[in-house]
Amino acid sequence: MSAILPPSERLWYKHPIDRVEGTWIAIALTWCLIMFFMMIGWHIWGKQNLSTETYRTTPEKFTAKAQAVVDKFTVRTETDQKTPVVAPPAGSDVYMIARLWNFWPILELEKGKTYKLHLTSLDYNHGFSLQPANINIQVVPGFEHVVTVTPNQSGTYSVVCNEYCGINHHTMVGRIYVK
């Protein structure tokens, strides 16, 4: 028999299912269901998945909120651009803006304290990749992403843009200090 001829038994799909075949279907289905519920379970009990809340915003609204926090809690400036280093109180809302081609401001957080980190982009799609913690989220213009973070290790963290955003994409880095 070859594939160009019709099957000798025309109702081939009406054969009773073979035991081996049935077993494999059952195994595959069970595994699919386990994987499906793992996705949900991992969000609740896993340690690496970030559940972000996302709201609509505008550059003006977001910048105003970020500026208010920067005005209130800047402790010093760093880098040639005089980027403010902002140390907001534990438990508060902290803001970071992604734009061509930097992250603003620099944040200084306390280890073991929980913050609500708000992120937006003022222009194009950027990425927020926190190294070496390996946290990775997209930062989309027009949206405010809110992540609840509790830094569990002190040190200097780099924020790297991992969405290609133009000629100076490779220079787009930011910083978060954890004390």
Chain positions contacting ligand CUA, by CB under 6 A: 126, 161, 163-165, 169, 172
- The DSSP bridge partners found for residue 146 are 53, 118
- CB 163, min distance to ligand CUA, A: 5
Q: Where are the alpha helices (DSSP H) in the chain?
A: 19-45, 59-73
Which residues touch 174 (CB under 8 Å, ≥6 apart)? 96, 98, 102, 103, 104, 106, 158, 159
**Exposure of 45 in the CB half-sphere (CA atoms within 13 A):** 5
Provide the minimum distance between the beta carbon of 59 and ligand CUA in the complex, in angstroms, as a whole number. 15
State the minimum distance, in angstroms, from the CB of residue 44 to ligand CUA.
31
| Spatial CB neighbours of 147, under 8 Å, sequence gap ≥ 6 | 50, 52, 116, 117, 119, 137
CA proximity to 50, closest of 141, 122, 119 = 119
Which residues, in sequence order, are CB contacts of 55 under 8 Å at separation 6+?
Answer: 143, 144, 146
Nearer to ligand CUA, 110 or 122 (CB): 122
- Shortest approach of ligand CUA to residue 27 CB, angstroms? 43
Give least dist CB 126 to ligand CUA, A. 4
Q: Which is nearer to ligand CUA, 73 or 98 (CB)?
A: 98
Supply the minimum distance, in Å, between the C-beta of residue 1 and ligand CUA: 57
Q: Which one, 37 or 164, has the nearer CB to ligand CUA?
A: 164
Contact partners, residue 33, CB within 8 Å, separation at least 6: none
Measured from the CB atom, the residue of 73 and 122 that comes closer to ligand CUA is 122
Tell me how many helices (H) and strands (E) the chain has. Answer: 2, 12
Q: Which is nearer to ligand CUA, 43 or 170 (CB)?
A: 170
CB of 116 or CB of 169, closer to ligand CUA: 169
